[in-house]
């Protein structure tokens, strides 16, 4: 990430956080109230209820404090001035509710004699529908003076005492009222629906009428609720103050949906509290964002740290190199210089897993090979390997590093240019277009000796050995005089001389040249002898002029080449049947075959060291013993088995 992006992103995140965190404190919470109250609710057998009613299943802020319903039974109940009423019906178009006294349910003889009272601030009788029944209790027996009242007489057994009682409809029995008031201990007003009270009321009619209840109108047309509804809000209440509240989509207000009309001190306090909470949450949010940013930044830093660490390691190696070689140290170039010297990478010499190699020209006119390491190669391990290894070397048979480029994602190594390219071109002659590319035996022999010297030099190091791990024809470059130079130290490993055993995770090398112990530790420990094996395979290929393993070859006609050549040796045929040994090169080729077969012994201990190899190559043929037949690690195992038994 670009460093300048950080302040910008931080600022943006802060703004977003403040907006997101501050707004919801007023919006989300109240919006929630709006949404909650917007949905109607059911209570008992009454459905589609809303303000002013509320219940245990409905938040109190959605209703009026005095309109709490008890939904525990089928018929909801409401308390009006401590009296319990059953709510039979709620009509929102007329703002009325039909209620019946709970204490008169299924009886006309309640436990206590209580007048019907309503809260006149909230309710009013619907005079067009309601009428009063008056019930007289505990009357003196019998009222002989008013025999016409006998039909309106009823009995109640209260406290095991039978009482005579009367009922009248206020208007109808006006004349009797004064007598009854006189004669009875209690009288109670019970409103009923006029429509249910016939002119001559009967006992059954009274019971039915009382159970059917009466109608109350609630004070719905209050100005506050109207203002609120007109503003698009929903009427409700503030439970803390038990006052009216208007729930709007953008907040809850005392009336309407704006703060203009809500400048009461309690509202202001609530608003202030909201703002303070908002600010506090915003501050916390910013802190949280900073923590996240710091965390992300630390991740970023740790990545940079790894990079810097490798860079530092590399820098140390370069410093060491400069210290050791003074003016001979490779020059550091910028990537643009690299681009310039390769003419924008126009002339590609080769391609490897590491990246590409391009032909270039130094400002002084010297031709160079520029090896560009591909960006995907992680933290530049190959580059470090190569610089660390090669910066320690100075040998005629090891390629010379002239310069390098080390920028964040661009790494390149500048080598002396090898006009004759790599050895593979000259040994796999059947693949080459020009048949005359085949080198003379003498040249091949000299190349083999020189490579051995180069490797011996790498393995010899005073304190540190360099193990190459990728000896193969492609990595042997030839200068104009066909002097071989070992190149490509991307897989190289440095190891202390005293413990020449290398601990290694995973496999490195190229199939066909890897020593068996490198891909399976069952064969022994990985050491400089692993390079000896690869060298042996390389020399065998030089002798055979072909790949030891050729994936393209058919199994039936061809055998594993080292296997075949060994059989020739056993038969004393000097390899002639294999068609690789000519008269002129007989001694040389025989020597090379014997040495390489010693080199590819399965057990690393059986292989000679590189200085012994040089000795063997330079010595006489007679001094060389025929090596034991190596247990060859051919990929065609079954095939090898059948050929050995035959």
Ligand X SMILES: *[C@@H]1O[C@H](CO)[C@@H](O)[C@H](O)[C@H]1NC(C)=O
Instruction: Please pick, from the candidates 79, 243, 510, 603, the single residue that binds ligand X as defined by CB under 6 A.
Output: 79
Site string for ligand X, 597-636 (x = CB under 6 A): ----------------------------------------
Q: Using CB under 6 A, which of the segments 89-97, 238-246, 358-366, 619-627 binds ligand X? A: 89-97
User: Which helix (H) or strand (E) is 465 found in, with range?
Assistant: strand 464-467
115 is a site residue for ligand X (CB under 6 A): yes
272 is a site residue for ligand X (CB under 6 A): no
Site string for ligand X, 186-225 (x = CB under 6 A): xxxx-x----------------------------------
**CA 367 vs CA 116, 334, 403, 414: distances in Å:** 116, 18, 12, 10
Q: Label residues 11-48 b or e (16+ Cβ within 10 Å = b).
A: eebbeebbeebbeebbeeebbebbebbeeebebbebee
Nearest CA-CA partner of 51 in 222, 215, 282 = 222
Spatial distance between the Cα atoms of 377 and 350, rounded to a whole number of angstroms = 17
121 is a site residue for ligand X (CB under 6 A): no
Question: Given the complex with ligand X, which of 53 and 417 has the nearer CB atom?
Answer: 53
* Binding residues for ligand X restricted to 139-178, rule: CB under 6 A: 153-155, 158-159, 162
84 is a site residue for ligand X (CB under 6 A): yes
124 is a site residue for ligand X (CB under 6 A): no
Instruction: Please pick, from the candidates 8, 57, 73, 127, the single residue that binds ligand X as defined by CB under 6 A.
Output: 127
> Known binder of ligand: residue 629?
no
> Cβ–Cβ contacts within 10 Å for residue 341, how many?
22
Beta carbon of residue 300, minimum distance to ligand X (angstroms, whole number) = 42
Contacts of 566 (CB under 8 A, 6+ apart): 597, 629, 630
Instruction: Please pick, from the candidates 10, 24, 27, 40, the single residue that binds ligand X as defined by CB under 6 A.
Output: 40
**CA 81 vs CA 25, 89, 105, 117, 121: distances in Å:** 38, 19, 18, 7, 11
Q: Using CB under 6 A, which of the segments 108-116, 270-278, 311-319, 510-518 binds ligand X? A: 108-116
77 is a site residue for ligand X (CB under 6 A): yes
- Residue of 30, 31, 382, 470 with catalytic role: 470
Spatial distance between the Cα atoms of 14 and 282, rounded to a whole number of angstroms = 9
**CA 9 vs CA 2, 5, 6, 12: distances in Å:** 11, 6, 5, 5
Torsion angle in degrees (nearest 10) through CA of 271, 273, 274, 278: 140
Beta carbon of residue 209, minimum distance to ligand X (angstroms, whole number) = 13
CB 137 within 8 A of CB 187: yes
Q: What angle do CA 39, 41, 44 make, to 5 degrees?
A: 170
Query: What number of chain residues touch ligand X (CB under 6 A)?
Result: 38
Let me know if 500 is exposed, middle or buried by CB neighbors in 10 A (0-12, 13-18, 19+). Answer: middle
Question: Given the complex with ligand X, which of 267 and 465 has the nearer CB atom?
Answer: 267
Examine the residue annotation and report whether 424 is marked as an active-site residue of this protein. no
Q: Using CB under 6 A, which of the segments 257-265, 322-330, 385-393, 597-605 binds ligand X? A: 257-265
Q: Using CB under 6 A, which of the segments 30-38, 129-137, 367-375, 441-449 binds ligand X? A: 129-137
Instruction: Please pick, from the candidates 91, 242, 334, 336, the single residue that binds ligand X as defined by CB under 6 A.
Output: 91
Binding-site members for ATP are: 371
In the complex, the residues that contact ligand X under the rule CB under 6 A are: 40, 47-48, 68, 70, 77, 79, 82, 84, 91, 93-94, 113-115, 125, 127, 130-132, 153-155, 158-159, 162, 186-189, 191, 232, 248, 250-251, 257-259
Residues labelled catalytic: 470
């Amino acid at each position: 990430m670009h460093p300048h992006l950080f302040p910008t992103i931080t600022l943006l995140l802060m703004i977003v956080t403040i907006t997101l965190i501050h707004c919801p404190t007023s919006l989300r919470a109240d919006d929630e109230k709006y949404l909650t109250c917007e949905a109607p609710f059911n209570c008992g057998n009454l459905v589609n209820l809303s303000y002013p009613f509320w219940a245990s299943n409905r938040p109190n802020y959605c209703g009026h404090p005095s309109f709490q319903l008890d939904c525990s039974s089928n018929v909801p109940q409401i308390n009006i001035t401590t009296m319990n009423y059953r709510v039979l019906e709620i009509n929102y178009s007329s703002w009325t509710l039909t209620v019946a006294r709970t204490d008169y349910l299924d009886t006309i003889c309640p436990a206590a004699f209580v007048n019907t009272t309503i809260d006149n601030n909230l309710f009013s009788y619907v005079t067009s529908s309601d009428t009063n029944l008056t019930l007289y209790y505990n009357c003196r027996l019998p009222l002989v003076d008013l025999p016409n009242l006998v039909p309106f007489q009823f009995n109640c057994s209260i406290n095991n005492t039978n009482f005579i009682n009367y009922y009248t409809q206020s208007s109808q029995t006006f004349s009797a009222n004064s007598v009854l008031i006189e004669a009875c201990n209690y009288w109670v007003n019970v409103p009923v629906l006029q429509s249910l009270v016939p002119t001559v009321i009967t006992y059954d009619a009274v019971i039915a009428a009382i159970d059917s209840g009466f109608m109350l109108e609630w004070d719905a047309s209050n100005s506050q609720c109207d203002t609120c509804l007109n503003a698009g809000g929903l009427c409700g209440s503030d439970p803390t103050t038990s006052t009216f509240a208007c729930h709007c989509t953008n907040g809850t207000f005392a009336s309407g949906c704006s703060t203009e009309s809500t400048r009461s001190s309690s509202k202001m306090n609530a608003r202030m509290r909201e703002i303070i909470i908002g600010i506090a949450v915003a501050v916390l949010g910013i802190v949280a964002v900073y923590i996240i940013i710091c965390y992300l930044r630390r991740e970023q830093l740790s990545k940079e740290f790894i990079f810097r660490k490798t860079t530092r390691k590399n820098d140390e190696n370069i410093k060491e190199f400069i210290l050791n070689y003074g003016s001979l140290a490779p020059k550091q170039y910028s990537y643009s210089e690299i681009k310039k010297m390769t003419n924008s990478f126009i002339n590609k010499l080769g391609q490897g897993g590491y990246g590409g190699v391009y032909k270039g020209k130094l400002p002084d006119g010297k031709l160079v090979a520029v090896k560009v390491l591909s960006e995907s190669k992680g933290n530049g391990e190959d580059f470090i390997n190569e610089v660390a290894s090669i910066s320690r070397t100075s040998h005629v048979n090891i390629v010379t590093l002239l310069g390098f480029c080390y920028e964040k994602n661009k790494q390149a190594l500048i080598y002396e240019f090898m006009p004759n390219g790599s050895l593979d071109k000259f040994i796999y002659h059947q693949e080459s277009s020009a048949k005359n590319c085949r080198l003379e035996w003498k040249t091949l022999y000299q190349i083999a000796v020189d490579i051995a010297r180069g490797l011996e030099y790498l393995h010899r190091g005073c304190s540190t050995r360099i193990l190459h791990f990728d000896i193969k024809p492609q990595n042997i470059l030839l200068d104009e005089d066909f002097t071989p130079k070992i190149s490509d130290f991307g897989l190289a490993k440095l190891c202390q001389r005293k413990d020449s055993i290398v601990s290694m995770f995973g496999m490195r090398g190229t199939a066909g040249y890897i020593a068996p112990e490198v891909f399976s530790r069952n064969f022994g420990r990985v050491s400089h002898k692993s390079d000896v094996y690869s060298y042996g395979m390389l020399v065998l290929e030089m002798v055979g002029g072909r790949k030891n393993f050729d994936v393209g070859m058919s199994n039936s006609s061809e055998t594993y080449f080292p296997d075949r050549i060994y059989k020739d040796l056993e038969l004393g045929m000097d390899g002639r049947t294999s068609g690789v040994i000519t008269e002129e090169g007989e001694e040389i080729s025989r020597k090379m075959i014997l040495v390489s077969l010693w080199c590819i012994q399965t057990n690393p201990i059986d292989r000679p060291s590189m200085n012994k190899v040089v000795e063997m190559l330079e010595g006489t043929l007679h001094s060389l013993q025929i090596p034991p037949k190596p247990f060859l690690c051919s990929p065609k195992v079954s095939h090898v088995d059948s050929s050995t038994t035959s």
